[in-house]
Chain A
């Protein structure tokens, strides 16, 4: 079965640094999502993306965050100036109804 992949699996960064999390969605899908899950807490919607633009974003997705589809296959989430509270698992999902989740990137901000 096709799957969503994410890299890296674990990223450690210092507060204030920029990080880019990468996702390769399933090839013929048009809808992509980013979610985050702080340890022990619920999955939180960040942003959805369709037709090369943002469809919806949550209150969490402020100016610190951005998404891109730089080359037609990758889908990236950039966090510009990381804070301690950005430490979480970040999941990418693809398909119209967010059906297929990638394995996640664990981001640790120190």
Chain B
């Protein structure tokens, strides 16, 4: 059965800290890895990764994928209170099927 595990489950940091969120998977027929941010309602897209070792960056956020070791990380530098949210990763397997992890709840204190 396909499985996605995120760690830590929750994290409390202070503004300005750097955080690393982890996502590991056991998914057959890998296609892509997606990262989302979920605040009050719907997930909003952050990154899509398909190739190992290529870092994707957007402002203070970056992500990288390791297909050999079966994990991905999401880094957030210089955290702000607006980064407080649940961060979700989802692994694409088979033909357009995405398996989500349980998420990491990040709280950034002022």
Contact = CB atoms under 8 A, between A and B. Distances in A.
Interface in A30-76: 31, 33, 35, 41-45, 48, 50, 55-56, 58
A105 to B, nearest CB: 11
Given A42-B102, A97-B48, A99-B45, A55 B96 contact: yes
Contacts of A31: 96
A56 B97 CA distance: 6
Interface stretch (B12-20, B61-69, B87-95): B87-95
Contacts of A100: 45
Contacts of A11: none
B58 to A, nearest CB: 14
A100 B42 CA distance: 9
Interface in A66-103: 89, 91, 96-103
B67 to A, nearest CB: 16
Nearest to B33: A97
B43 A55 contact: no
Interface residues of B, number: 22
B13 to A, nearest CB: 22
Contacts of A103: 41-42
B96 A99 contact: no
A25 interface: no
Contacts of B98: 33, 45, 98
B71 to A, nearest CB: 18
Given A42-B102, A43-B88, A43-B90, A101 B97 contact: no
B97 A45 contact: yes
B34 interface: yes
A42 B100 contact: yes
5 contacts: A33-B98, A45-B97, A45-B99, A56-B94, A101-B43
